[in-house]
């Protein structure tokens, strides 16, 4: 894997009330070096301008930016990669467009999907939601800690990111279940004045 941090923050403008560029700046202040930008509501133009600014900030600080879903935006702003879901463009086409050096992640929600993902040109698999989450309008059923263990068993040492309902209280359990990394949205960005602080608190978790 090119780079997989223990803590993988994801921006959300609706939850934080801040632009993605502002969130990226605060996350980096808190120690983030690998950030996913996630946007479901803004226009393509607004998202493009915001992510372009975010990438410029990240480049100055040596951080990497991954774009959720939008391969076109990732390509246009020269992001470090893209994270794709089950309903997005297949990873093989994203790889053709973004190139061999791009980081491509892929969401799975079951052991079967994780096994299928191993055949794809991706760099990491995410599994979730681990716990109940409110950041998606129609979330898949929670897989729990046992879901992490089951996926880890079938994918071996392939990089695994856990996502969904993870907070400071349960993150250590997620690591113990077999995740290499935890992806976090609400528990970091829901209080905009504390984003840097919360990021630093997550980074202090002992695996």
Please identify every residue annotated as catalytic.
Answer: 38, 107, 136
Which pairs count as long-range contacts for 154-158, CB under 8 Å and 24+ apart, including other chains? 154/111, 154/114, 154/115, 155/114, 155/115, 155/118, 155/125, 158/118, 158/124, 158/125
Backbone angles phi, psi at 131, to 5 degrees: -120, 170
Q: Helix 20-29 to helix 195-203 angle, to the nearest 10 degrees?
A: 50
Q: Helix 20-29 to helix 44-61 angle, to the nearest 10 degrees?
A: 20
């Amino acid at each position: 894997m090119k780079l997989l941090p223990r803590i993988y923050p994801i921006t959300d403008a609706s939850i934080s009330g801040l632009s993605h560029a502002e969130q990226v700046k605060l996350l980096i202040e808190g120690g983030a070096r690998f950030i996913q930008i996630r946007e479901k509501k803004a226009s393509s133009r607004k998202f493009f301008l915001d992510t372009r600014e975010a990438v410029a900030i990240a480049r100055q600080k040596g951080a990497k930016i991954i774009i959720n879903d939008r391969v076109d935006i990732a390509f246009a702003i020269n992001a470090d990669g893209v994270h794709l879901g089950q309903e997005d463009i297949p990873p093989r086409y994203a790889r053709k467009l973004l190139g061999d050096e791009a980081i491509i992640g892929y969401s799975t929600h079951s052991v079967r999907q994780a096994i299928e993902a191993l055949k794809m040109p991706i760099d990491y698999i995410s599994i979730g939601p681990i716990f109940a989450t409110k950041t998606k309008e129609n979330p898949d059923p929670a897989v729990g800690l046992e879901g992490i263990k089951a996926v880890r068993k079938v994918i071996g040492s392939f990089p695994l990111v856990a996502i969904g309902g993870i907070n400071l209280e349960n993150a250590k359990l997620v690591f113990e279940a077999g995740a290499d990394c935890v992806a976090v949205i609400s528990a970091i960005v829901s209080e905009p004045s504390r984003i840097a602080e919360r990021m630093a608190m997550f980074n202090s978790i002992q695996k």
